[in-house]
Amino acid sequence: MTQRPPIPQEMKREIRQRCGFGCVVCGMPLYEYEHMLEWAEVQRHVAGEITLLCRQHHGEKTNGLLPKEVVVASNQNPYNKQTGTSKQHLLHYSGQMVRLRAADSCFEYRDLSDGAFFAPLVIDGLPLVAFRIEQDELLLNFIAFNELNKPIIQIVDNELIYDTNLWDIEWVAQTLTIREGRGRILLQLVFSPPSEIHIRKGRLLRNGIELLVGPNYLFNTNNSIFLGAIATVNCPVGFAIGDHTPNVGAGIVLAGILRYEFDRKQARQYLRRCLSERRSND
């Protein structure tokens, strides 16, 4: 018997995209790769012969409780492809201590009380990340957009959903990565319930505003503003960019953002300069 080689990364991505980034039977966004033809017989990895099943449906298939025919039919009409959005998935946030980390910056609220609202990141008056407590339950809300201002991923009161027409979404353990193309990460989130969400990397976009989240910096491309390791504690709004800043004590505000009349190339050059200066200071 030859050792079974791993499924190549690019093939896995192709399978994820075809299956709508979820179990083909129920849409669950945490899944395993399942060979529809028995490995022992075919001994090959072919994208079209592999599908996605969640643990429960994988187990049922293995135990003969989910017929092969049902898996094949679901593979041809994946659950998440039917509506264009993934099935909602509950994230287990709870308690009164909450925190957004964005690169090496941190916005937190300790002891959030019932009825209170904390928006660690706001663009043009819209909270991209927000926590509130309602009837003793901590609720996390999150939204991220693409360049066309269309939501691509959302957490609505702890329930995660995403657009299933993206190029790639890969969720492994706590880390969810959205890619726009090969090697191009649009957003990488790390969920650490009960209290923390971390935007590790990516581009946050809204109404022509771009906030780059690098490994150890935040950078607003429009106005070439380079920020590292900023932090707020117990400010109802942590970091606000753009217009319509909520009038409730924002910790850090970037206003007067240029929408169209800025030079992206120059901004990127400035960012590279900031990063190399920082490295030489280390």
Positions that interact with Zn ion (CB under 5 A): 23, 25-26, 28, 54, 57
In the complex with Zn ion, the residue whose CB is nearer, 23 or 130, is 23
In the complex with Zn ion, the residue whose CB is nearer, 28 or 152, is 28
In the complex with Zn ion, the residue whose CB is nearer, 80 or 158, is 80
What is the closest distance, in whole angstroms, from the C-beta atom of residue 63 to Zn ion in the complex? 14
In the complex with Zn ion, the residue whose CB is nearer, 43 or 56, is 56
- Tell which phi-psi region holds residue 160, choosing left (phi > 0), alpha (psi between -120 and 50) or beta: beta
What is the closest distance, in whole angstroms, from the C-beta atom of residue 157 to Zn ion in the complex? 23
What is the closest distance, in whole angstroms, from the C-beta atom of residue 31 to Zn ion in the complex? 7
In degrees to the nearest 10, what's the CA dihedral of 47, 181, 146, 250? 120
H helical segments located in the chain: 9-18, 39-42, 55-62, 68-76, 79-83, 264-281
What is the closest distance, in whole angstroms, from the C-beta atom of residue 189 to Zn ion in the complex? 22
What is the closest distance, in whole angstroms, from the C-beta atom of residue 165 to Zn ion in the complex? 20
DSSP code per residue over 130-148: EEEEETTEEEEEEEEE-TT
Burial class (CB in 10 A: 0-12, 13-18, 19+), 259: exposed
In the complex with Zn ion, the residue whose CB is nearer, 57 or 200, is 57
Q: Residue 12: count other Cβ atoms within 10 Å of its Cβ.
A: 18
DSSP 110: S
In the complex with Zn ion, the residue whose CB is nearer, 26 or 91, is 26
Whether 249 and 117 have beta carbons less than 8 Å apart is answered as no
What is the closest distance, in whole angstroms, from the C-beta atom of residue 16 to Zn ion in the complex? 15
DSSP code per residue over 141-174: EEEEE-TTS-EEEEEETTEEEEBTTSSEEEEETT
In the complex with Zn ion, the residue whose CB is nearer, 57 or 132, is 57
Whether 87 and 80 have beta carbons less than 8 Å apart is answered as yes
In whole angstroms, how far apart are CA 77 and each of 51, 167, 178?
Answer: 11, 18, 23
Residues 6+ apart with CB under 8 A from 233: 108, 109, 110
In the complex with Zn ion, the residue whose CB is nearer, 67 or 249, is 67
What is the closest distance, in whole angstroms, from the C-beta atom of residue 67 to Zn ion in the complex? 14
What is the closest distance, in whole angstroms, from the C-beta atom of residue 78 to Zn ion in the complex? 11
Helix (H) or strand (E) holding 49: none
